[in-house]
Amino acid sequence: MSDYTDDIFDEKKVEKAIKKGKLKSIITIILVSFLLFVVLNITNFALSAYFSQKAFEQWDAYVRLTTPNGYISESIDSTGFLGGTSNYKVSKNMKRKAVVIEQNQYSFSLFPSTLISRGHGSSIGSTAEEWQFQYKDNGWREMMFFHPKVTYKKYNNDEDLINRIGGDKIFEVALSFDKPYKQSELPFDELPILTWFWINTFSDSQIETFQEEATNYDWSATFIREREALGFSTHSYHSQTNLDYEYNRFLDLLETSFSSDHNKAYSTLEGKKMRDVEILGIVVYGTKEEIIAIMEESIVKAASIGGIIDNY
């Protein structure tokens, strides 16, 4: 009895037991904290990767829709907690090669992505005697489009400018038609490799607004900007080409893009077949001779130059 009591109240043994208990607690806390750290990091990585991929798909759709033959050519993510930012480059397919035209940034997280731009192309045309077009970051001019159901005071035509440019070049030129055409009504037997078709995605109320602006505002600012003209490209076109695949892909992009304007355009076209869709114009890529030959077609109402590269 005495030995048992002495053992219980042995201060050294009690102190040793307390230290042992504390050590176990510390080890348990460290292990739990480590496991929690690993789980949280894996969860954060997985969620950030999910949000990053979703944002990329939305932004890539937006870029492809607002930049004829454009796409995100490079994207570098910087992740934080449940999100991050992505620095990306926009390139444009210019038939002979791809050219980087812009560098921008967007965020991704639990909340919708927003654009954080590192710079926009400058505008030009400070007086009513000049078209109020803009330049891209790489110095190329943004193309102008003219809706065939709108009567404008003046139409842009860059044929003289194209003829004045020397050297062997590949030109990007937006051609607006004199009226909407179904594919079966187009007069072209064949078009250059890599032709982009401008599709009528506008509602009647939008067209009415365009007409009011063309009537009431100065001619130099009344046109449809490149980012507002939506369409798709094909790498080979002749009069019997089936564009159903390209058109359906175009619809997918409209539905995927974060832009409410693109979602509305999807609603406008939903249920329509390619054979019933109105084509308002085209963007063509070719040499001076190829471009001028197409521009001389009677259905071409306006022509606006975009990018230019050397033909090699």
Instruction: For residue range 260-282, list pLDDT tens digits in order.
Output: 999 999 999 999 999 999 999 99
pLDDT of residue 112: 54
- Same domain, yes or no: 114 and 259: no
174 and 217 assigned to the same domain: yes
User: In the structure encoding, which two tokens stand for residue 137, read together?
Assistant: 């970051």
Residue 231's nearest CA partner among 250, 213, 218 is 250
Residue 6 lies in a domain: yes
Least confident of 37-41, 141-145, 177-181, 260-264: 37-41
Please give the share of the chain, as a percent, with pLDDT higher than 90.
Answer: 62
Would 132 be classed as within a structural domain? no
Report pLDDT for 119.
44
pLDDT above 80 for 82: no
Q: Do both 115 and 151 map to the same domain? A: no
Provide the number of structural domains found in the chain.
2
Both 158 and 238 in a single domain?
Answer: yes
Same domain for 188 and 82, yes or no, is no
Residue 169's pLDDT band, with cuts at 50, 70 and 90, is very high
Q: What DSSP character marks residue 308?
A: E
Q: Please check whether residues 160 and 301 belong to one and the same domain.
A: yes
Distance, in Å, from the CA atom of 138 to the CA atom of 155, rounded to the nearest integer, reads: 26
CB-CB contact of 203 with 268 (8 Å): yes
Q: Would you state the pLDDT for residue 125?
A: 47
pTM for this model (two decimals): 0.81
Q: What is the mean pLDDT of the chain?
A: 87
Position 111 pLDDT exceeds 80: no
Is the confidence at residue 135, as pLDDT, over 80? yes
Same domain assignment for residues 305 and 194: yes
Residue 236, pLDDT > 80, answer yes
Same domain for 225 and 148: yes
DSSP 142: P
Query: What's the whole-number mean pLDDT along residues 1-26?
Result: 68
| Helix, strand, or coil (residue 172) | strand
**102 & 15 share domain:** yes
- Asked if residue 160 and residue 295 are part of one domain, the reply reads yes
Mean pLDDT of 131-147: 92
Domain range for 250 is 144-310
Which of 53, 108, 115 is closest to 83 using CA atoms?
108
**pLDDT average, residue stretch 132-140:** 90
Reading phi first (left if > 0) and then psi (alpha if -120 to 50, else beta), residue 144 is in beta
Average pLDDT over residues 179-189: 94
Question: Does 115 have pLDDT greater than 50?
Answer: no
Give 228's DSSP letter: G
| pLDDT at residue 116 in the model | 46
- What pLDDT is recorded for position 179? 97
Render pLDDT for 195-221 as a digit per residue (tens, 0 to 9).
999 999 999 999 999 999 999 999 999
Lowest-confidence segment of 67-71, 80-84, 132-136, 173-177 by average pLDDT: 80-84
Whether the per-residue pLDDT at 9 is higher than 80: the answer is: no
Instruction: Please state, in angstroms and rounded to a whole number, the distance separating the CA atoms of residues 111 and 96.
Output: 39
